[in-house]
């Protein structure tokens, strides 16, 4: 019985991500780097997962594979019931476009392009009409509280606002998963709190599955599940009610 | 896909608009290349049209037979150096070569011409009446002389525009006036329509025609009666020219009693031969234009490629983001190709405008005729598009092949 079947057995259709014995091996010159060494992971729909670990622990590699930016050297990966570990670049691009929203540490907005147009970007590659693109992007900006700033350029926005544009861009295609790679790494405490509040709201109210990579324990504490990686393996996996309780307490302050 | 392409074009224009200086400098090669080609093609076409008009102004399907060089003890005289052609030759040709529609003969000399207190030194041509038909001369006033004028050696003259300008006051009617050629009075009976420059560059309107017989007996003082400066003939159809030339040679060789080993003592030329020389010139011009165009478009294209490579490097992170949100390789490829083609097209259009302006300026300043053909504009447009496509391919492909993970991490 495979991990995926096992997950389905336990959780029915709830499993969104199922990874089975994932390996990722790079070769740099003569040196072989084992970035992932047999990762087994199941994430259900609606979970808010924080992935922690030192740099070089393999968390970025795992994120890249889950985000369909990279493919495992060995092992299998099912996303929403479809095995995606073996797909070609164009099929992966389609999956990223429709199922995955990315939020980066350095926002990665396209410079000298308005907030609205940045938020439109995924729809641009889906071939929607300009009118539909604009309507959906405006709605996404509204969800992150940026109504009225559609025509601001990234340089006219604060760091927190820029990251909110990035979240709107990730939300605009109604993805199944939001992958946030240290989304507060470049933000001050106040903005960090705002961003985390938005993510938490999206998770609780819209049941969006969120995977968050972070170094900081208090950022991780917003999540409902915490994974710790070390040397290419998951060394700790806690579904902690305590964590969510403390996060709830924090969101009140 | 069409929405995608349209929006990509808009984006490309905006990116160019943002880096106006850089885009302008990048396009300069294309602008200069296309501009130079458009200007030079229009000058070339203008020149060619002028030459064609000159060749056509000689008449239609014209054959010219010139007396040949004499060889005296190994010393060769120049063309026309011998008096080998006669009126009798012309009459024989008329009789023996049925392909000839018309035959005529002429003899010229430069003479002093006087009208009242004005005088002019111009070429006086004694011609048989058929000459006017062969060389396609028409009249602005008056008309040609007749066979009867020929037979009676009448003192009548036809004058060209240049002669009119130099011998008559503005507004004075030349027809009916009496002019003196070498002190012999002539009545002007016709003013010739202007023809402009000949294919060799001489002024065809600086001319006076008088009947051949009159010239021979009363003006030129010829040593050998019946000798002519040149024979002229024409055929009905251009295809008949080579055959007619062959027959003319046979008849003349027989009449001149030339042995098979002796060379012709005359030269037969046709309008086609003269046109061919001009065509050769314009072909050389075309080849040179093509070389210039190739070099400048190559340089312009390399400029575009260079700036795009810089752009791909500068925008590596942006490319990574685009890939992360679902751009496929072909989307990135098309985006950069469109940027390249936008650059080359804007440059091409600017070049076309500069070229047209340059051609106009040439006409105004230097007085050269220029023709701006729609074809050259369309070809320049398509060519600049092709340059953008070709030189954009490498940078666009480089962008499309970026690994999204590395592109996102690029600092």
Which residue spans within chain A are E strands per DSSP?
Answer: 15-28, 31-44, 48-52, 74-79, 82-83, 100-103, 177-181, 209-213, 225-230, 233-238
Q: Which of B321, B326, B405 sits opposite A64 (nearest CB)?
A: B405
Lowest mean pLDDT across A212-226, B74-88, B235-249: B74-88
Q: Average of pLDDT values for B328-343?
A: 93
Mark out chain B residues that contact chain A at CB-CB < 8 A. Answer: 1, 3-4, 7, 18, 317-318, 320-329, 331, 404-405, 408
**pLDDT at residue number B396:** 96
pLDDT exceeds cutoff 60 at B189? yes
Q: Maximum Cα–Cα distance for chain B, whole Å?
A: 105
Cross-chain CB nearest to B322 (options A67, A111, A121): A121
Mean pLDDT score of chain B: 86
Q: Among A65-69, B92-96, B231-235, which range has the highest average pLDDT? A: A65-69
| Contact partners, residue A242, CB within 8 Å, separation at least 6 | none
A191 in Cβ contact with A163 (< 8 Å): yes
Q: Which residue of A has its CA nearest to B327?
A: A125
Residue B199 has pLDDT above 80, yes or no: no
| pLDDT at position B236 | 85
Token pair listed for B50: 């002028």
Q: Which residues of A touch B (CB under 8 A)?
A: 64, 67, 69-70, 89-90, 93-94, 96-98, 102, 104, 108, 110-112, 121-122, 124-130, 169, 173
Task: Give, for A84, the enclosing helix (H) or strand (E).
Answer: none
Element (H, E) at B186: strand B184-192
What's the rounded Cα separation, in Å, for the pair A123 and B327? 10
Q: Do B324 and A126 make contact, defined as CB atoms within 8 angstroms? A: no
Mutant choice from A66, A125, A173, A176 vs B, greatest count of B C-beta within 10 A: A125
Poorest-pLDDT segment among A32-41, A44-53, A113-122, B61-70 = B61-70
Q: What's the half-sphere exposure (Cβ side, CA atoms, 13 Å) at A197?
A: 15
How far apart CA B301 and CA B30 sit, in angstroms, is: 7
Q: What is the pLDDT of residues B255-306, one digit of tens each?
A: 888 888 888 888 888 877 776 776 677 777 778 877 887 888 888 899 899 9
Kindly list the distances between the CA atom of residue A173 and the CA atoms of A122, A136, A160, A198, B242, in Å, as whole numbers in the listed order. 7, 8, 21, 17, 79
Res B183 pLDDT > 70: yes
Size of interface A-B (CB pairs under 8 A): 64
Whether residue B70 is predicted with pLDDT greater than 90 in this model: the reply is: no
Q: Which residues contact residue A30 at a Cβ distance below 8 angstroms, ignoring those fewer than 6 apart?
A: none
* pLDDT band, residue B226 (cuts 50/70/90): confident
- Segment of A188-202, A231-245, B8-22, B66-80 carrying the highest mean pLDDT: A188-202
- Is there a contact between A96 and B324 if contact means CB atoms under 8 Å apart? yes
Query: What are the extents of the domains in chain B?
Result: 2-54+276-409, 83-264
Q: Which of A59, A121, A179 to mutate to test the interface with B (most CBs of B within 10 A)?
A: A121
- Specify the higher pLDDT residue, B225 or B112: B112
Closest partner CB to B326 (pick from A97, A110, A130): A97
- For residues B298-327, give the mean pLDDT: 92
- What is this structure's pTM? 0.72
What is the rounded distance in angstroms from the CA atom of residue B157 to the CA atom of residue B191?
9
Average pLDDT on A53-79 reads: 92
Residue B4 has its nearest CB partner, among A90, A112, A124, at A124
Which one of B321, B327, B405 has the shortest CB-CB distance to A108?
A: B321
Q: Tell me: the pLDDT tens digits for A6-20? A: 544 444 457 999 999
Residue of A nearest to B403 (CA): A69
With vertex at residue B111, the alpha carbon angle to CA B109 and CA B117, rounded to the nearest 5 degrees, is 160
Q: Which residue has the tokens 């030194």?
A: B121
Q: Compute and round to an integer the Cα radius of gyration of chain B.
A: 33
> What mean pLDDT comes out for the span A224-240?
92
Which pLDDT belongs to residue B295? 86
Cβ pair A169:B405 closer than 8 A: no
Range name among A91-95, A246-250, B91-95, B254-258 with the lowest pLDDT average: A246-250
Between 3.40.190.10, 2.30.30.230, 3.40.50.1580, 3.40.50.300, what CATH number should domain A47-68+89-252 receive? Answer: 3.40.50.300
Measuring CA to CA, how many Å separate B247 from each of B136, B243, B264? 24, 6, 13
CA–CA dist A170, A166 (Å, integer): 6
Instruction: Output the average pLDDT for chain A.
Output: 88
The pLDDT-based confidence of A5 (bands split at 50, 70, 90) is low
Q: Which of B57-66, B367-376, B388-397 has the highest mean pLDDT?
A: B388-397
Chain B nearest-CA residue for A178: B325
Tokens for A139?
Answer: 């709605």
């Amino acid at each position: 019985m495979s991990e995926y079947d096992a997950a389905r057995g336990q959780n029915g259709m709830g499993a969104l991500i199922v990874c089975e014995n994932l390996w990722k091996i790079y070769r740099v010159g003569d040196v072989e780097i084992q970035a992932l060494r047999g990762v087994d992971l199941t994430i259900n729909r609606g979970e808010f997962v924080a992935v922690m670990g030192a740099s070089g622990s393999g968390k970025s590699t795992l994120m890249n594979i889950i985000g369909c930016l990279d493919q495992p050297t060995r092992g299998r990966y099912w996303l929403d019931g479809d095995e995606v570990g073996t797909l070609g670049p164009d099929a992966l691009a389609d999956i990223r476009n429709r199922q995955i929203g990315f939020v980066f540490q350095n926002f990665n907005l396209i410079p000298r392009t308005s907030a609205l147009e940045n938020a439109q970007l995924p729809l641009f590659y889906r071939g929607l009409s300009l009118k539909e693109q604009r309507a959906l992007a405006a709605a996404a900006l509204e969800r992150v509280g940026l109504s009225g700033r559609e025509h601001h350029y990234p340089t006219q926005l604060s760091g927190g606002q820029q990251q909110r544009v990035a979240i709107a861009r990730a939300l605009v295609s109604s993805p199944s998963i939001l992958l946030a790679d240290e989304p507060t790494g470049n933000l001050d405490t106040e903005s960090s709190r705002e961003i985390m509040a938005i993510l938490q709201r999206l998770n609780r109210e819209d049941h969006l599955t969120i995977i968050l990579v972070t170094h900081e324990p208090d950022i991780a504490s917003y999540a409902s599940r915490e994974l710790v990686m070390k040397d290419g393996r998951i060394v700790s996996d806690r579904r902690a009610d305590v964590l969510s309780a403390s996060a709830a307490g924090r969101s009140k302050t | 896909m069409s929405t995608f392409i349209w929006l990509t074009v808009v984006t490309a224009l905006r990116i160019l608009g943002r880096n106006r200086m850089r885009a302008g400098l990048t396009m300069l090669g294309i602008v200069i290349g296309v501009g130079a080609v458009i200007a030079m093609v229009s000058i070339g076409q203008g020149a060619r049209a002028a030459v064609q008009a000159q060749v056509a102004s000689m008449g239609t399907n014209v054959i010219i037979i010139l007396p040949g060089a004499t060889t005296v003890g190994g010393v060769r005289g120049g063309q026309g150096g011998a008096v080998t052609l006669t009126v009798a030759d012309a009459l024989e040709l008329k009789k023996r070569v049925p392909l000839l529609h018309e035959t005529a003969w002429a003899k010229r000399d430069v003479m002093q011409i006087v009208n009242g207190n004005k005088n002019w030194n111009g070429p006086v041509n004694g011609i048989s009446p058929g000459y006017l038909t062969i060389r396609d001369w028409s009249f602005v006033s008056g008309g040609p002389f007749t066979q009867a004028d020929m037979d009676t050696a009448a003192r009548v003259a036809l004058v060209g525009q240049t002669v009119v300008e130099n011998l008559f006051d503005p507004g004075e009617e030349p027809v009916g006036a009496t002019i003196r050629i070498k002190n012999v009075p002539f009545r002007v009976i016709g003013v010739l329509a202007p023809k402009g420059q000949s294919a060799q560059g001489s002024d065809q309107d600086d001319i006076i025609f008088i009947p051949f017989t009159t010239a021979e007996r009363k003006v030129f003082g010829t040593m050998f009666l019946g000798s002519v400066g040149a024979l002229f003939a024409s055929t009905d159809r251009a295809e008949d020219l080579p055959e007619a030339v062959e027959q003319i040679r046979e008849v003349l060789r027989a009449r001149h009693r030339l042995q098979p080993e002796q060379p012709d003592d005359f030269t037969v030329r046709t309008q086609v031969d003269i046109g061919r020389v001009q065509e050769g010139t314009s072909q050389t011009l075309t080849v040179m234009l093509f070389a210039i165009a190739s070099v400048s478009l190559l340089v312009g294209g390399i400029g575009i490629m260079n700036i795009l490579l810089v752009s791909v490097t500068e925008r590596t992170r942006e490319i990574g983001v685009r890939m992360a949100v679902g751009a496929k390789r072909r989307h990135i490829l098309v985006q950069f190709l469109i940027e390249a083609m936008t650059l080359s097209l804007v440059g091409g259009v600017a070049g076309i405008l500069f070229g047209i302006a340059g051609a106009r300026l040439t006409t105004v300043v230097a007085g050269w005729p220029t023709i701006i053909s729609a074809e050259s504009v369309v070809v320049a447009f398509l060519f600049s598009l092709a340059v953008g496509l070709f030189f954009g391919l490498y940078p666009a492909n480089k962008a499309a092949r970026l690994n999204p993970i590395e592109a996102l991490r690029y600092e």
